[in-house]
């Protein structure tokens, strides 16, 4: 079983690349953001809690996210070859809790963190384009977009050092075309 994290700021293209990778390698795609949006659409209790936080561009609390992750991993059908985690982990505490979940789950560990590196200016442009296509509420105001980018820098970016120290960090140039990025990610996956 392989465990890959697709890492990067909001709007880096993690969702697009995840879908291409699941198609090619038959992996399971776990997007915490999408799972939360599904909870919101279904009007669940988790959805109600999450909506308020997401609309402000803040993070949902770790405990809730970890429960979602645990459930998704356990639910994977027999014969699953691997997972792509998209938008998780987003904090150091999520990353260390995730390491523990994988250790407890049969002494497993992350295979690679595939990191889409994109400059802030390009992120804003891409999120505004996505807003016109997908209509996500948390993409709709520039204040929320900028808050999310700020939260990314303060809370998520420290994960780069965390995974570099563990020899798991693989940077990918995120300003290239979808196809070029996909080919570069596949090269890394096929090599390790
Ligand atoms: P995404 O679709 O990954 O951009 O996530 C959309 C929103 O869901 C984020 O801005 C957060 O508010 C929330 N979210 C998604 N994943 C996480 C996570 N791992 N930890 C905390 N909040 C999250």
The pLDDT assigned to 105 comes to 86
Question: Nearest residue CA, atom 2 of ligand 1?
Answer: 33
192 within domain boundaries: no
Nearest Cα to Cα of residue 59 among 91, 84, 37, 86:
91
30, 68, 87, best to mutate for ligand 1 pocket (most atoms within 8 Å of CB): 87
128 within domain boundaries: yes
Tens of pLDDT, residue by residue over 109-146, are 999 999 999 999 999 999 999 999 998 888 889 999 99
* 19, pLDDT greater than 90: yes
Which atom of ligand 1 lies closest to the CA of 88?
Answer: 19
- How many domains is the chain partitioned into structurally? 1
- Domain residues for 73? 2-187
User: What separation in Å is there between the alpha carbon of 30 and the centre of ligand 1?
Assistant: 12
18 within domain boundaries: yes
Across the chain, mean pLDDT equals 95
107 within domain boundaries: yes
Question: Nearest residue CA, atom 6 of ligand 1?
Answer: 33
**CATH code, domain with 162:** 3.40.50.300
b/e per residue 48-59 (b: at least 16 CB within 10 A): ebbbeebeebeb
Tens of pLDDT, residue by residue over 46-84, are 999 999 999 988 999 999 999 999 999 999 998 899 999
Tens of pLDDT, residue by residue over 76-106, are 998 899 999 999 999 999 999 999 999 998 8
Query: Between 107 and 189, whose confidence is greater?
Result: 189
11, 86, 90, 149, best to mutate for ligand 1 pocket (most atoms within 8 Å of CB): 90
CA atoms lying within 13 Å on the CB side of residue 112: 15
Write out the two tokens for 57: 């561009």
Asked if residue 59 has its Cβ within 6 Å of ligand 1, the reply is: yes
Q: Is 44 left (phi over 0), alpha (psi -120 to 50) or beta?
A: beta
The pLDDT assigned to 52 comes to 93
Tens of pLDDT, residue by residue over 162-182, are 999 999 999 999 999 999 999
pTM, two decimals, is 0.95
């Amino acid at each position: 079983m392989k465990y890959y994290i697709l890492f990067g700021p909001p709007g880096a293209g993690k969702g697009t690349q995840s879908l291409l990778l699941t198609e090619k390698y038959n992996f399971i795609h776990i997007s915490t953001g999408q799972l939360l949006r599904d909870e919101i659409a279904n009007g669940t209790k988790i959805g109600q809690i999450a909506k308020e936080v997401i609309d402000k561009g803040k993070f949902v609390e770790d405990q809730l996210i970890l429960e979602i992750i645990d459930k998704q991993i356990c639910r994977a059908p027999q014969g699953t070859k691997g997972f792509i985690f998209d938008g998780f982990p987003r904090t150091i505490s999520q990353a260390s809790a995730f390491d523990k979940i994988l250790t407890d789950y049969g002494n497993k560990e992350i295979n690679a963190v595939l990191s889409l590196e994109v400059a802030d200016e390009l992120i804003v442009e891409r999120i505004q384009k996505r807003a016109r296509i997908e209509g996500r509420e948390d993409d709709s105001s520039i204040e929320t977009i900028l808050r999310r980018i700020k939260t990314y820098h303060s809370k998520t970016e420290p994960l780069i050092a965390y995974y570099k120290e563990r020899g798991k960090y693989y940077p990918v140039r995120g300003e290239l075309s979808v196809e070029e990025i996909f080919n570069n990610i596949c090269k890394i996956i096929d090599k390790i």
